[in-house]
Chain A
């Protein structure tokens, strides 16, 4: 397809130009009909309309197509729907998601999980779609905005007659006044309607709200900033969304940072019965819960397994819902708490079952217990520990969680009357677990001779309430808001104002008027009709419509 790109008015156009950039004459043979003109981007050549495209041009051309953009939007839309079919994995804070989908939703849940739809919005294909939409936004905009800017900034006033009479809003008639007088009157009328008017004898160009043409592109810039801000979360250190479990009185390291957070004291107030409506009487409803937290920064021995880290206090804050501890972009939010009593330590005694002799007792902590104990003539070596004891699928003992819900300790006991290598002993501090897992059965080779047991409640200490904190870092947040604001400004510019232009020329006493707007033809027609009315020409606005599409 080779077109002569030089127009009869003498202007040399770029390849792909639909309407001459100077006079507006339609350049293609197939456009020599009387149909209204395709006025998109003022008929300028887009960058993508190059002859002999190379590989980069081809990629550019792919992303510059609005059709591709619409496809991308539709695919993203359908993908998003998929992600709402079942709860996403990020809604579970604890537990293994794999055990949720199959058991609760049957084969569909299992398939959903296996195909990765349980993490739709973090999946590679979803992120890829977002990146492609971003690319499309950049390229579509650049492809059009630069030629459009060029075309709009140097407009010719006297347009080709066929350009004017093939607009969507057209009016022609014979004049009984000189052309220049008519154009001058029209200029005054249109100025009154806030048009910027350029007149050249009996030809006229009136224009208003050109800035609204930039609305879509400003909107796209905002969206790009927004998308980049969201994608910037994958830059190391920019984004974190972790949950930490902090028992009262303990300091816990925040993973991937140099910070430690301590729960000095946790308090919870419950509603009293007087404060509750009838149907909630007798229920425990927390009114306010608060973690008195201290944030430490580690200054030395941070990842050392042997040495204690050196901590320096940097911030102290009472965390309640909606009042996080914030320090240098790191926020710790109150997420949840658990104030059911949990074992902290027990003080078991070693007892000779045959004689009833008590060899003495030792302190056994649930968290970080000592590995070796000496009780009377006996030595106890802690081999392994289970916080929530269970027998796994492979038949071996395992721990279901890291909370001391059903703690068990596996000892090797050495001493008088026992074999050289020592004897194994599994100890459940809680009486319930001792019966449930038949401690005496497991230890039967030794259980009629020795026993570990806690004599009274004095031998048991409970931990304070545990606070669950949500630790967040989101450095990209300001850019998210800036992007959203720019996008909104662009939308308002583009949708609440319309770029309207009117061209007029008089040839041998015959008036030809054409008008174009990017949106709202109704308003365009009534602008023209009311200007005419002021000049004593009655026109039904609807009769100005020359057919063709609305956009």
Chain B
């Protein structure tokens, strides 16, 4: 067995340990209302078990990271799979740090599923080691990527705490206009999370089934001299094509549930690399996600927010508010250093300019501006509590767009990462 294979086993171990850690945190938090026990003792005991299991998960994850580094000879942060797993690991580290300060089991109940989700999302991407272009292989790349991810990890913990705050304080019985609006948005956030889970599940289900379809797509490009060039490329789908690529012909397509040809064509204005496949994946995720959400609602007979809300009883919302702010305050300098300053040093070495307004750079700046606005708003009255928690949630959406969305939608120097 070589290092890389061993690292994959460690990765699977980490994934399951995180899942168990999450379950134990749920038991710690939800189980204190169970009969025949002292609630305080119960929380203390199960929170410790959950913490130990999660820490073991991190240990396995670190083992994965370093053995893969040894096995591949380069730091495993160079493609989407490696970067997302690293981000998951960084969130665990940030969680361990914040938890060391505040010791709230409920933080684990929200941080761990986030880590599980990100690690599972990482596994969607191809996992083989890809050699790095030698010109890009610099110490500053490693420093830049890892520090930026660590800063973002603290924002992720702030997101978890912010979402908890909202689930804790939003009045799920209220019928007023304000309460209704808050309920709707919290529910929408939870729905989006269900869709992301559905995306991961859908990818793995169709992959397990070995589903395949392929198309030839004609791409017309007009260069800046007005010369038209047509290229034909093959596009492979791993999911049944609801949307086929724009201007394409079916080469091969397995029939799925009686669907033997694509239903729609991707609109022409979607021009990203493999736009058709991405649109198809998104449509599938939303379909399956909505189905999953509908089944959950049917089973629970309540909005998801209203189901989670009672679990949060007895948690001091002020603590959650402070944890949210604190996590961002810890993460902000790290993010500034990693995503902007180290990035500038690295860009100055690799592309001989420290800033080039590349979309990824701009989005890192946008993230930074957003959190600076957050930190300034915290100084003013009326921006603590719920508004601040919403900002933490939106901030993390911007972080994720910078990490994933930019690669999927806009092409640029960092576009190495966009697959699937």
Contacts and interface: CB of A to CB of B under 8 A. Distances in A.
A77 B349 contact: no
A70 B373 contact: yes
Which of B333, B340, B349, B370 has its CB near the most chain A CB atoms (within 10 A)? B333
A551 B365 contact: no
A472 B332 contact: no
B352 A480 contact: no
Given A400-B225, A488-B341, A492-B333, A84 B363 contact: yes
Contact of A103 (B226, B316, B318): B226
A77 B333 contact: no
B302 interface: no
Contacts of A495: 329-330, 332-333
Contacts of A100: 222-224
B139 interface: no
Interface in A456-496: 470, 472, 474, 477, 480, 484, 487-488, 491-492, 495-496
Interface stretch (B167-175, B285-293, B319-327): B319-327
Interface string B213-226: 00000000111111
B370 A77 contact: yes
Nearest to A550: B322
Contacts of A472: 352-353
A84 B372 contact: no
A551 B378 contact: yes
B327 to A, nearest CB: 11
A322 interface: yes
A71 to B, nearest CB: 9
Interface string A105-121: 11010000000000001
Interface string A67-103: 1011001101100110110001010101111011001
Interface in B214-272: 221-226, 269, 271
Contact of A90 (B330, B350, B357): B357
A496 B334 CA distance: 11
Given A106-B269, A520-B326, A491 B341 contact: no
B35 interface: no
A521 B333 contact: no
Given A81-B366, A522-B102, A488 B376 contact: no
A66 B271 CA distance: 41
B322 A522 contact: yes
A85 B326 CA distance: 33
B333 A488 contact: yes
B410 interface: yes
B46 to A, nearest CB: 22
Nearest to A480: B354
A545 interface: yes
A488 B370 CA distance: 18
Contact of A73 (B341, B376, B378, B384): B376
A172 to B, nearest CB: 21
Interface in B302-349: 316, 318-319, 321-322, 325-326, 329-330, 332-333, 336-337, 340-341, 344, 349
Contacts of A108: 269
Contacts of B378: 551
Given A77-B369, A488-B333, A550 B325 contact: yes
Interface residues of A, number: 58
A77 B369 CA distance: 6
B381 interface: yes
Given A491-B332, A491-B333, A77 B379 contact: no
B225 A519 contact: no
A259 to B, nearest CB: 18
B361 to A, nearest CB: 9
Interface string A319-350: 00110100000010100000000000000000
B318 A99 contact: no
Nearest to B221: A104
Contact of A550 (B362, B373, B376, B384): B384
Contacts, number: 120
A393 B136 CA distance: 44
Contact of B362 (A83, A92, A333, A484): A83
Nearest to B348: A477
B13 interface: no
A40 interface: yes
A542 B318 CA distance: 10
A121 B357 contact: yes
A106 B220 CA distance: 13
B330 A80 contact: no
A95 B225 contact: yes
B350 to A, nearest CB: 8
A73 B365 contact: no
A549 interface: yes
Would you call the interface of chain A mostly helix, strand, loop, or mixed?
helix
A121 B384 CA distance: 33
A331 B351 CA distance: 13
B354 A522 contact: no
Question: What range describes how many residues of B lie at the interface?
Answer: 35 or more
B71 to A, nearest CB: 19
Contacts of B321: 550
Interface in B363-402: 363, 365-366, 369-370, 372-373, 376-381, 384
A106 B271 CA distance: 12
A40 B380 CA distance: 9
A97 B222 CA distance: 12
Contacts of B352: 324, 331, 333, 470, 472
Interface string A512-551: 0000000111100000000000000000001001000111
B209 interface: no
A551 B379 CA distance: 6
Interface string A220-259: 0000000000000000000001000000000000000000
Nearest to A522: B322
Interface in A252-307: none
Interface string A383-413: 0000000000000000011000000000000
User: Which residue among B224, B322, B326, B372 has the maximum number of chain A CB atoms within 10 Å of its CB?
Assistant: B224
Contact of A545 (B102, B318, B330, B337): B318
A26 B213 CA distance: 74
A88 to B, nearest CB: 6
B100 interface: no
Nearest to A102: B222
Nearest to A548: B384
B362 A322 contact: no
Given A470-B352, A495-B329, A95 B381 contact: no
A305 to B, nearest CB: 30
A80 B322 contact: no
Contacts of B333: 488, 491-492, 495-496
A28 to B, nearest CB: 15
A12 to B, nearest CB: 28
Nearest to A82: B362
A109 to B, nearest CB: 10
Nearest to A335: B352
A211 B305 CA distance: 43
Interface string B183-215: 000000000000000000000000000000000
Given A99-B226, A488-B337, 10 more contacts: A40-B379, A70-B377, A77-B370, A81-B366, A105-B269, A400-B225, A480-B344, A519-B329, A550-B322, A550-B325
21 contacts: A66-B379, A70-B376, A70-B377, A76-B369, A81-B362, A83-B362, A84-B406, A90-B356, A99-B222, A99-B224, A322-B350, A324-B352, A400-B225, A477-B354, A480-B344, A487-B336, A488-B341, A491-B332, A491-B336, A522-B101, A551-B384
The 8 closest A-B pairs by CB, nearest first: A95-B224, A491-B333, A103-B222, A77-B369, A84-B359, A73-B373, A549-B384, A100-B224
Interface of A: 38, 40, 66-67, 69-70, 73-74, 76-77, 80-81, 83-84, 88, 90, 92, 94-97, 99-100, 103-106, 108, 121, 241, 321-322, 324, 331, 333, 400-401, 470, 472, 474, 477, 480, 484, 487-488, 491-492, 495-496, 519-522, 542, 545, 549-551
